[in-house]
Amino acid sequence: MVFVVTNDDGIDAPGIKALVEAVKALRQDVVVVAPQTHLSGCSHQVTTDRPIQIEQRSNWEYAIAGTPADCTRIALSYLGLEVDYVLSGINSGGNLGADVHVSGTVAAVREASLHRIPGVAISHYRQGKREIDWELATAHTIRVLATLLAQSTAPGTFWNVNLPHLSPGSCEPAIQFCSPCTQPLPAAYRVENDLLYYTGEYANRLRDPGADVEVCFSGHIAVTLLHI
């Protein structure tokens, strides 16, 4: 099987390297088609008003001067790849509940789903300024992908996965299938010289009982099935 791997943190981000390692551990062919630069929060933006530069770094790596959705579109059309799956991530930071509407990570897989290609968006909740253990994230991702690849999805659906930020020595997190949280992100600001500065705290967001935000914040791997 051929897996296209992309993200919104850029082709040189540690998260995409961790995801590639997970795919290789599952003995699948991988082609990286990812943005040249960091584009977190760009949602499903696509580029149609300017040329898009493609930098081929190797026979399986392409850096795209475009958005995550652009990367999926280019992989499925211009590059002529016979794609079986599109994976996006591992994002540095959660994409839970309402996050999926602004996430470039999720948009890349949503675009694949529009083309009837199955996919998984994978993110890693980041607690404060603590560093992410990418080797551990790879191990968790291998488990999750092995579980999800054994399942079929209907056209127009795709998986969204969020890894918890665990303390060293924590027990292995359970994989929990759940619903996406429907609560809004914090909308808090401070005023300074007629300017608004965002002060919302991600960790203090509202959460639906049993939904993905609560599951991930409780130290488990949250898996939701999203629909176009």
Query: Is the distance from CB of 15 to CB of 92 less than 8 angstroms?
Result: yes
> Containing domain of residue 65, as a range?
2-227
What pLDDT score does 15 carry? 98
Q: Residue 201 has what DSSP assignment?
A: -
Q: Could you give the number of structural domains in the chain?
A: 1
3-class DSSP assignment, residue 75: helix
What pLDDT score does 184 carry? 96
What pLDDT score does 187 carry? 93
Contacts of 10 (CB under 8 A, 6+ apart): 16, 34, 35, 36, 37, 38, 39
DSSP string, 149-182: HTS---TTEEEEEEE--PPTTPPPPPEEE-PPP-
Tokens standing for 100?
A: 């999926």
> pTM (2 decimals)?
0.96
Give me the phi and psi of 34, to 5 degrees please. Answer: -135, 160
Q: Residue 93 has what DSSP assignment?
A: B
What pLDDT score does 80 carry? 86
Q: How far, in Å, CA of 153 to CA of 55, rounded?
A: 33
Q: The domain spanning residue 137 has which CATH number?
A: 3.40.1210.10
Q: How far, in Å, CA of 188 to CA of 88, rounded?
A: 30
Strands 189-192 and 29-35: unpaired
Q: How do residues 63-72 score in pLDDT, each as one tens digit?
A: 999 999 999 9
What pLDDT score does 128 carry? 86
| Residue ranges in the chain whose pLDDT is less than 50 | none
Sign of the alpha-carbon dihedral angle for 167, 171, 174, 179 = negative
